[in-house]
A and B are shown apart, each in its own frame.
Chain A
Amino acid sequence: GENVEQHPSTLSVQEGDSAVIKCTYSDSASNYFPWYKQELGKRPQLIIDIRSNVGEKKDQRIAVTLNKTAKHFSLHITETQPEDSAVYFCAARGLEYGNKLVFGAGTILRVKS
């Protein structure tokens, strides 16, 4: 079935720097790739997503890129702020896994001020 690997597991950056989290997936038929942010004690919330017919998508300070050939996608956060500190999960949805989302293990992002 689909497998999603996420790296790094923890990431510390200085406020104002950029942060990049990478995910790889195994099912070449995967067609939808969301990113979720989970703040401490709160529910995961969708922050950005991308579909397989698009290579890049931006929303203010966050962007996601997709490389279908290499089967990987990345989350980019620019000008990081302390409120960006959270756990970030990537996910992929593909036909091989019945159209359910398969999640990566998560990345703990700490933004130091």
Chain B
Amino acid sequence: DVKVTQSSRYLVKRTGEKVFLECVQDMDHENMFWYRQDPGLGLRLIYFSYDVKMKEKGDIPEGYSVSREKKERFSLILESASTNQTSMYLCASSPGLRAAGYTFGSGTRLTVV
């Protein structure tokens, strides 16, 4: 019963390409998040959204943007992919500001060559 779905499991893109990572949740959650996961660095927050059309920068937003046109969908955009953006990208959602825990997607492993 997958509840947070990331559109691609593996992705290979060329330097300079515009890359879209899609995340869809079917739990009617208000909050959605994008993290990148790198060995030894844990989970670092890129962007998050508390509502439709709302977005906030996380800790490492440089080189990324996001879009949330519908409540269930949160897209991460790499405007011009670079090799240092090669990483595992995890999407997560939660039901409210003070609610418990996140539900994560399975992740997208992006390689930029």
Contacts and interface: CB of A to CB of B under 8 A. Distances in A.
Given A43-B105, A100-B33, A100-B48, A34 B100 contact: yes
B97 A99 contact: yes
Interface residues of A, number: 20
Given A43-B90, A44-B90, A100-B33, A89 B105 contact: no
A44 B43 CA distance: 10
Given A100-B33, A104-B42, A45 B98 contact: no
Contacts of B97: 99
A29 to B, nearest CB: 13
Given A43-B90, A44-B90, A103 B43 contact: yes
A101 B102 contact: yes
Contacts of B56: 98
A54 interface: no
Given A43-B105, A43-B107, A105 B42 contact: yes
Interface residues of B, number: 22
Contacts of A44: 43, 90, 104
B99 to A, nearest CB: 9
Contacts of A45: 104
Interface of B: 4, 33, 35, 40-43, 45, 48, 56, 58, 90, 97-98, 100-107
Interface of A: 6, 9, 32, 34, 36, 42-46, 49, 89, 98-101, 103-106
